Amino acid sequence: MISALTNSRPQNMFAAFPSYFAPTNSLDAVRLLEQFNERAVILAGGTLTMPEINLGSSGREAVISLDRLGLDQIIIDDRTVRLGAMVRLVELASARALIPLHKAVASIGGPAIRNMATVGGNICARHPYGDLATLLLALDAQLTFSTTRGTEVVDLAAFYAAEDRPRRGRLILSVQFQLPASQEIVFRKLGRRCVNTPSIVTVAARVTRNSAGVVDRACVALGGVGDNPVRSYAAEEALTGKNLDDENIESAAQKAATGIAPLTDSYASAWYRSRVIPIQVRRALSELQAVAA
Amino acid sequence: MAIKRGQGIAAVNYPTGMNLGGDPTQALIHCTPTGSFIISLSSVDLGQGIKTVGAQIAAESLGVPVDLVRVDLGDTDTGPHCMGTFASRLTHRAGNAIIMAAREARNVMLEVAAEELEVAPEDLETDGVGNVRVMGAPQRSISVMDVALAAHFKQGRTISGRGIYMKPKSTPDPETGEMDPDSGHAHACTVAEVEVDTETGVVRVTRLVSSYEVGRAINPAMVQQQIFGGAFMGMAHALYETTAPYYPDPENAPKDWSEYILPGWGELVDMDSIILQRPLESGPCGAKGVGEMTANSPIAAIVNAVSDAIGVRITSVPITPEKVLRALDEVAER
Amino acid sequence: MKGTMSSQIERLAIELNGEERFLLANPLNSLAHTLRDQFGCRSVKIGCEQGGCGTCAVLLNNRLVLSCLVPMARADGARVQTVEGLSKGNQLDPIQESFIRCYAAQCGFCTSGMIMSAKALLDSNLQPTREDVVVGMSGNICRCTGYLPIVDAVLEAAKGRTELVPESAEPGKGSCALEKSIKVLDLQIPGSTGEPENFKEVGKSVPRRDLRGHVTGRTAFVEDAVVPGLRYMKIVRSPHHHARILRVDLSEATRVPGLIKAITHQDVPNNFYTILRLIGVEPNDEPVLADDRVLYRGEPIVAIVGESPQAAAEAARQVKIDFEPLEPVFDVEEALKPEAPRVARQGVNHFIYEGHHCRRVRFGNVAEGFAAADMIIEQRYDTSPIEHAALEMTGCIAKPEPDGRVTVYTNTQALFFSLDNTALILGVPPNRLHFVGGTVGGGFGGKVDVIVEPLATLAAILIDQPVKYFFSREEEMQVSSTRAGERFYFKDGVLRDGRIIARQVRHYMDAGAYARHTPYAATKAAAHLPGPYAIPNVYLDCHCVYTNHTPTSAFRGFGVTWGDFAIESQMDLIANRLGLDPWHVRLSNAYRDGDIKAHRKRVSDAALVEVIQAAARIAGKELEPAFSEMTSFKR
């Protein structure tokens, strides 16, 4: 029998493996998260948690599995899409209604990783992961949390901007967004490899234009440049109310990195990222430009 | 956005054997009662294939089909001393030791056969398909299996052999560096073609052409395996991988397969290659060592191709996209 | 199994390769370890435990997964397929046969994972394009083959499932892409009879002996050795590049349940690596376990033996060490300055070659050569350290035998070398040790440092139980030896027609914190420079320098690979500066039979001219007659 909820510390604090919990409802899950806080780690897809457990030196006391919470639903109602936190990336790839997400999903890992990794994991993962999250950020997605005080809805942008992450006792249940038309979005990832590569710079953008071809709304998100994906408000401002032409695209591209201090890691330096952000933004927006409004 | 193309070449050689010699390898061969041969080595197969190549060399020297020969390796109790698998030495050293052991075993085998066939051993030859026969009178023959049975149970002989190959150790002169470092050199030339995206600095290798002179290709398919594998590792060295991306600064050292940048399936380049043979006098059947060389010529060829493409020499590897952009910036400034 | 696992043990059920199986497992133990250890599925390999390499790939409910990332709780009730389930008796799956036919494996360590990925692809896509194969296989890494033969094997397997496999499709019969790539040409050497050798077995593409084992997952690597009662070693390592060790506190570590022993330098009979002593090179500068100071980040300080890997890791985490960080040095030329932090024990940051600060080659007179040259061309070249990244991690299992000997199953590249070094370090007669191995999942020079055997064997002797010590992938990446970063300063004196008449090279090899094999490599570099060219005046200084980087060591092309990069870059630079064709510059300078090399050995096996000409033919490069008619056999 899997030992369920307990208020005391697990008996063998330095046991070979942390204690394993698989709560069956989200209230139990958030109570466990509140109780253990940083001494626990969430097990979603396993792609980030299991390496820690395998090495055996994480110092965690508890692993909280989300397997039995029923978070694996894809619900599409008209154009509103709600993805459960435990939906695997492969299920997005095989959902015909979610074609606008397919390029982003295909850019993540290899087939086995896509079979295991989850939407929630991709949202919470730190750099260099989070390519789907970058697209969701450009789609103005919202997160629904379960907390000890009930459910909470938070804009993904606010989630990433908040300084107090991770927060105690809070679990992502689902992410929600309006499904865009394919011709409104673009996703472009620059890595060191063509296939199965971490990101150096990921650009995701959603640009809607009126019948005159003028941009009425632009949402531009950059991944790979910081701990989490960020919105490029400067690029958005440079596009809004303008035609999507070469000059405006170039202006938006040049401004895209404003206020963003990219990081240096083993893939690329901050210098390089700063250099290619405008290039990648320009190339992404040019892709959109080539599609009829 | 501009894509610039370039071509580069590199011509290299590679020494066979541990530098300065003094790296012996021994081999033992014995025959089972039913005519199979076991080569005992303490050598190591890293995937380069001594288990197969050693059997081929032994079979050739014994005069029997390779299916009758097995290589048993990797045990310091049962295998005689081997210095190890490195320095492109093993085919050469173990191969020569095997040949020496095989000759001894073969001589005994022919003596036993000679007694069975009532001829002199000098009148006998092996047909390479499992028999010993009289030269010029091939119908008078005896199978290797029957020779073995006769040796074990009738004549009381051991069809066995011992072999060793050692290049004597050379000591470099401390003043002039005069030395005898190797047992010969293999040669290689690679031509690489690349495309460079001048905005992102991304380099793509579009073609590789290579020629390799290997003395003797004991097993051509396995040499070809080294050619493909080596070229890919060479490309990785030239453009991607390092444990210190900002060397000599030690920071941002990769921790896992994700952070350690290697090219992948999307970076494959089709290759044209040719194998040349100039038998090495000291080599087993003329073979030179080839396992390390195949990674080397592609590296410099790719570097030269990138430099050709962008019109400025990059003198630091790996050539990352950043280095390409910085080099292009330098050209633009001039 | 008291103390080997946490209190949470569950009874689980899986369907494994068609059979229903029951097991007891901790819900967090990985499916990979469970398949290997409880069900003997040795095809599942441990290549990283991080989901990065694909060697543990299996099908879980018909989906491709990385079994190292699947906790047993998630595998409960699932249908699992491994390579073991593919073949039925002697009948191999078409994918397995295809891998054999197409030479799609060398060391074999990645092969099982490759085959499962191929199966997942082909089960859902009967006619994959090459692009489909690239995507479908993209989660698997191979370091040996360069992938091309594997792509071919998967495409051929797709055909094999839908068509009859042609009769001639056996290895060695020219059916696969690799075999079709083979072209062999005999060079015509003057004075030889010109008759081809009549070999029967040599020169044939005889099928590889080991492929059947590789594709069935049965090739036996070290970790497949069945040794009951294993204990596990984890190492406590320095987080600093350079520091004094003030205090080592084992008190918390010894309280961890499952800790068996904590080993420090005081327990090591002869606490020095003797790698080079066996080939006559001193000094012995590197401790097995650090005593009063550490010289690189990752240097081993305490060796922990535990009842399980997790217990050992937890105990290692509880070791408390007080350090006094010291100033490190990371640049080879900085390290040679008198004011540099001292890295080496004997007081200078470089190896001493018979009283000299470097290996020297002096041939002819470069000063005269430079004076007579039409142009002087100088350039510096820099390279970076490289990780071997073989799919199999370095490791061994040391097993005490009833007769007092110890059997060490190891993936070293050099069995006697490792045995002798281990015996010296432990102060035991060499014949007390029995080293067994010979089948290695990729080496590339990364398994010749005798790093794991001494400590594992010592621990096995001290506790009289078998001890397993394997590097984790993170240790391979961050701690294990690398290829050295090297720096070259070239100064060439050249004539207008492209001939090099003087070459001077100042060369630095970054040995990192300890010598290991680098003193040997600098000599090999000196033998390799100035390249395969006939140059009458040569002056070489090859330095082995100590810095606080990870110790560097043997790597495919040791002492040569980076030299070739520098030499061949320089040849192009010469061509550029003189406005000459780079092909012609090389041919003008290429050595021939009878030439004397800078280390005064006579050339007798040259073929540089011929490989250049052959490459030119394939690449469509037209050489001027003066160059296309050259030979190595005479000038």
Residue range C27-65, pLDDT digits in tens? 999 999 999 999 999 999 999 999 999 999 999 999 999
Given an 8 Å threshold on Cβ–Cβ distance, is C618 in contact with B272? yes
In a domain, C624, yes or no: no
Given an 8 Å threshold on Cβ–Cβ distance, is B172 in contact with C601? no
Q: Which residues contact B95 (CB under 8 A, 6 or more apart)?
A: B53, B54, B57, B165, B218, B283, B284, B285, B287
Contacts of B219 in chain C (CB under 8 A): 204-206
| Tally of domains in chain C | 4
Residues B235 and B298: their CA atoms lie apart, in Å, by 7
Q: How far is C74 from chain A (nearest CA, A)?
A: 8
Contacts of B59 in chain C (CB under 8 A): 200-201
Average pLDDT, chain A: 91
* pLDDT, average across residues A58-84: 95
Given an 8 Å threshold on Cβ–Cβ distance, is A54 in contact with C64? no
Substitution target in A50, A67, A69, A89 with the highest count of C β-carbons within 10 Å is A50
Residues B334 and C41: their CA atoms lie apart, in Å, by 63
Domain with residue C122: its CATH number is: 1.10.150.120
Within this chain, do residues C396 and C274 fall inside the same structural domain, yes or no?
yes
pLDDT at residue C194, rounded to an integer = 67
pLDDT at residue A13, rounded to an integer = 33
* pLDDT, average across residues B53-75: 97
Q: What is the pLDDT of residues C85-136, one digit of tens each?
A: 999 888 999 999 999 999 999 999 999 999 999 999 999 999 999 999 999 9
Q: How far is B225 from chain A (nearest CA, A)?
A: 23
Within this chain, do residues C366 and C431 fall inside the same structural domain, yes or no?
no
From residue C245, how far is each of B20, C294, C519 by CA, in Å? Answer: 39, 7, 28
Reported confidence tier of residue C275, pLDDT bands at 50, 70, 90: confident
Q: How far is B4 from chain A (nearest CA, A)?
A: 17
Q: What is the pLDDT of residues A221-267, one digit of tens each?
A: 999 999 999 999 999 999 999 999 999 999 999 999 999 999 999 99
Token output for C463: 């506790």
Within this chain, do residues C520 and C536 fall inside the same structural domain, yes or no?
yes
Given an 8 Å threshold on Cβ–Cβ distance, is C314 in contact with A57? yes
- The pLDDT of residue A163 is above 70: no
From residue B78, how far is each of B27, B38, B89, B149, C437 by CA, in Å? Answer: 11, 12, 21, 24, 12
Q: What is the pLDDT of residues C548-588, one digit of tens each?
A: 999 999 999 999 999 999 999 999 999 999 999 999 999 99
Q: What is the pLDDT of residues C366-395, one digit of tens each?
A: 999 999 999 999 999 999 999 999 999 999
A110 touches chain C (CB under 8 A): yes
Residues C99 and C397: their CA atoms lie apart, in Å, by 31
Given an 8 Å threshold on Cβ–Cβ distance, is B176 in contact with C567? no
C134 touches chain A (CB under 8 A): yes
What region does B84 belong to: left with phi over 0, alpha with psi -120 to 50, or beta?
Answer: left
Q: How far is A50 from chain C (nearest CA, A)?
A: 5
C-alpha angle with apex C132: C126 to C136, nearest 5 degrees?
95
CA C560 from chain centre, in angstroms, equals: 16
Per CATH, is B3-16+182-333 categorized as 3.40.50.720? no
User: Is C208:C176 a contact under the CB 8 Å cutoff?
Assistant: no
- The pLDDT of residue A3 is above 50: no
Given an 8 Å threshold on Cβ–Cβ distance, is C527 in contact with B274? no
Beta strands in C212-289, from DSSP E residues, in sequence order: 231-237, 243-249, 259-263
Within this chain, do residues C234 and C294 fall inside the same structural domain, yes or no?
yes
Number of H helices and number of E strands within chain A? 11, 12
Average pLDDT, chain B: 97
Within this chain, do residues C271 and C417 fall inside the same structural domain, yes or no?
yes
Least confidently predicted of A22-31, C155-164, C331-340, C449-458: C155-164
User: Is B201:B27 a contact under the CB 8 Å cutoff?
Assistant: no
Residues C528 and B182: their CA atoms lie apart, in Å, by 10
Alpha helices in C363-452 (DSSP H): 366-372, 415-426
Structural domains present in chain A? 19-65 (3.30.43.10), 74-178 (3.30.465.10), 187-290 (3.30.390.50)
pLDDT at residue A56, rounded to an integer = 81
Given an 8 Å threshold on Cβ–Cβ distance, is B12 in contact with C360? no
C474 touches chain A (CB under 8 A): yes
Given an 8 Å threshold on Cβ–Cβ distance, is A279 in contact with B199? yes
Q: What is the pLDDT of residues C58-74, one digit of tens each?
A: 999 999 999 999 999 99
| Residue-number span of the structural domain to which C346 is assigned | 335-385+482-591
Return the active site residues of B. Answer: 292
User: CA-nearest residue of chain A to B244?
Assistant: A266
Within this chain, do residues C118 and C161 fall inside the same structural domain, yes or no?
yes
CATH number of B25-165: 3.30.365.10
Please tell me whether the overall predicted TM-score, pTM, comes out greater than 0.80 for this model. yes
- The pLDDT of residue A168 is above 90: no
User: Is C537:C363 a contact under the CB 8 Å cutoff?
Assistant: yes
Q: How far is B310 from chain C (nearest CA, A)?
A: 13
Q: Which of residues 249-268 of B touch A (CB under 8 A)?
A: 252-254, 256, 258-261, 263-267
Percentage of the residues of chain B whose pLDDT score is greater than 90:
98
Q: What is the pLDDT of residues B151-187, one digit of tens each?
A: 999 999 999 999 999 999 999 999 999 999 999 999 9
In a domain, C191, yes or no: no
- The pLDDT of residue C1 is above 60: no
Within this chain, do residues C344 and C257 fall inside the same structural domain, yes or no?
no
A118 touches chain C (CB under 8 A): no
pLDDT at residue C161, rounded to an integer = 76
Within this chain, do residues C112 and C253 fall inside the same structural domain, yes or no?
no
Neighbours of chain C (3+ CB pairs under 8 A): A, B
Average pLDDT, chain C: 94
User: Is A33:A23 a contact under the CB 8 Å cutoff?
Assistant: no
Classify residue B270 as exposed, middle or buried by CB count within 10 Å of its CB (0-12, 13-18, 19+).
exposed
Given an 8 Å threshold on Cβ–Cβ distance, is A14 in contact with C256? yes
Percentage of the residues of chain A whose pLDDT score is greater than 70:
92
Within this chain, do residues C451 and C486 fall inside the same structural domain, yes or no?
no
C208 touches chain B (CB under 8 A): yes
Substitution target in B44, B68, B208, B292 with the highest count of C β-carbons within 10 Å is B44
Residues C52 and C44: their CA atoms lie apart, in Å, by 14
* pLDDT, average across residues C575-602: 98
In a domain, C269, yes or no: yes
Residues B57 and B285: their CA atoms lie apart, in Å, by 8
Q: How far is C132 from chain A (nearest CA, A)?
A: 11
In chain B, where are the structural domains located?
Answer: 3-16+182-333, 25-165
User: CA-nearest residue of chain C to B297?
Assistant: C564
Q: What is the ipTM of this complex?
A: 0.97
Residue whose C-alpha is closest to residue B253's, from A104, C172, A264:
A264
User: Is B285:B216 a contact under the CB 8 Å cutoff?
Assistant: yes
pLDDT at residue C635, rounded to an integer = 65
pLDDT at residue C285, rounded to an integer = 86
Domain with residue C575: its CATH number is: 3.30.365.10
Residues B30 and C227: their CA atoms lie apart, in Å, by 30
Reported confidence tier of residue A10, pLDDT bands at 50, 70, 90: very low
Within this chain, do residues C321 and C451 fall inside the same structural domain, yes or no?
yes
* pLDDT, average across residues A257-278: 97
In a domain, C630, yes or no: no
Contacts of A110 in chain B (CB under 8 A): none
Reported confidence tier of residue C174, pLDDT bands at 50, 70, 90: low
Given an 8 Å threshold on Cβ–Cβ distance, is A106 in contact with C313? no
Q: Which of residues 216-235 of C touch A (CB under 8 A)?
A: 234
Within this chain, do residues C460 and C502 fall inside the same structural domain, yes or no?
no
- The pLDDT of residue C167 is above 50: no
Beta strands in C172-319, from DSSP E residues, in sequence order: 184-186, 231-237, 243-249, 259-263, 293-294, 300-306
Residue whose C-alpha is closest to residue C441's, from C109, C106, C214:
C109
Reported confidence tier of residue C189, pLDDT bands at 50, 70, 90: confident
Nearest to C387 among B20, B60, B260 (CB): B260
Within this chain, do residues C286 and C405 fall inside the same structural domain, yes or no?
yes
Q: What is the pLDDT of residues C291-350, one digit of tens each?
A: 999 999 999 999 999 999 989 999 999 999 999 999 999 999 999 999 999 997 777 999
